[in-house]
Amino acid sequence: MSETSTRRRLGHAALVAILIVGGLIMLFPFVWTVVTSITPGATLTTTPKLIPDNPSFSPYVDLFARVPFGQVILNSLIIAGISTVLQLVTSSMAAYAFARLPFRGRGAVFVLYLATMMIPFQVLIVPLFTEMKALGLINTYAGAILPTVASAFGVFLLRQAMSTVPYDLDQAATLDGAGHFRIFFQIMLPLVRPALATLAVFAFLNTWNSFLWPLIILRDPSMQTLPVALSSLQGQFSTQWDVLMAGSVISIIPMFALYVFAQKYIVQGVAGAGLK
């Protein structure tokens, strides 16, 4: 075996070892969350044990006894689900306009729209709340969903993906008598499916984890979302960490399942958006 081949093998082995160590470090907080959630009476000062002495699901029972967690999960699913669908609709249509419809000032409008990503959401809270109050949407699903319908990131991601689609397909479809709506639905959307899946995952996760806006707009406890409900489990002087971690595990499960289901599309979508 040559010296070059030996060095290459050693380098590959070192890289694999580094990746394994990094993966374990990143995975440990999630494992610790699950372990804490099945360890009654666990605290932050408890000596870490990957296998608890007396595992029990009593923290989960206490969680559903203290908080209407079934309704909370339903609220989060409704808000995140509807918001994701609407973001896909608005972002894909806007992306098609920026990628395929020539109009004066298209580049300037696109740059201006992307610039809105730099505006902190905290700056918009007061005008958004005033607008929702004027529309009578305080403490409603619509009030929680409307500010999330438009996504500059989604438009950017889908516009980049659509820009990689050859114009020859548009021209061929036009010669066959297809208009913009038919090209959009039958040609463009199927070809950018990985980018759509990527946006769906990101949009769902962002809305699912949203805390500040649901906290402000949803006043009724029965309308709470998961992040807001979890924050209510933290006491001023003491916190039942086993119960809190049980709620965290429940909140992670839908996100984990969604990511596992769409991970290959996420890789394809992000890679495809960067080709242009």
Q: What is the CATH number of the domain that holds 101?
A: 1.10.3720.10
25 in a structural domain: no
What is the mean predicted confidence (pLDDT) over 18-46? 83
84 in a structural domain: yes
Contact indicator for 203, 255 with CB cutoff of 8 Å? no
The count of domains in the chain is 1
Q: Tell me which residue range forms the domain holding 253.
A: 58-273
Mean pLDDT, the chain, rounded, equals: 85
With bands split at pLDDT 50, 70 and 90, how would you rate the model's confidence at 51? confident
Please indicate whether residue 1 or residue 76 has the higher confidence score (pLDDT): 76
19 in a structural domain: no
What is the mean predicted confidence (pLDDT) over 43-71? 78
142 in a structural domain: yes
With bands split at pLDDT 50, 70 and 90, how would you rate the model's confidence at 236? very low
Q: Hey, how many other C-beta atoms are within 10 angstroms of the C-beta on 77?
A: 15
Kindly write down the DSSP assignment for every residue of the chain, as one continuous string.
Answer: --HHHHHHHHHHHHHHHHHHHHHHHHHHHHHHHHHHHTSTT--TTSPP-SS-SS--SHHHHHHHHHS-HHHHHHHHHHHHHHHHHHHHHHHHHHHHHHHH---TTHHHHHHHHHHGGGS-HHHHHHHHHHHHHHTT-TTSHHHHHGGGS--HHHHHHHHHHHHTS-HHHHHHHHHTT--HHHHIIIIIHHHTHHHHHHHHHHHHHHHHT--HHHHHH--SGGG--HHHHHHTTB-SS-B-HHHHHHHHHHHHHHHHHHHHHHHHHHHHHHHHHTT-
Residues 6+ apart with CB under 8 A from 53: none
46 in a structural domain: no
Q: Which two tokens stand for residue 207?
A: 């809305």
52 in a structural domain: no
Give the whole-angstrom CA distance, residue 255 versus residue 249.
10
246 in a structural domain: yes
What is the mean predicted confidence (pLDDT) over 124-139? 92
Quote the pLDDT of residue 175.
83
pTM of this prediction exceeds 0.85: no
Beta-bridge partners for 234: 239
39 in a structural domain: no
Secondary structure, 3-state, 92-152:
HHHHHHHHHCCCCCHHHHHHHHHHHHHCCHHHHHHHHHHHHHHCCCCCCHHHHHHHHCCCH
Evaluate if residue 269 carries a pLDDT over 70. Answer: no
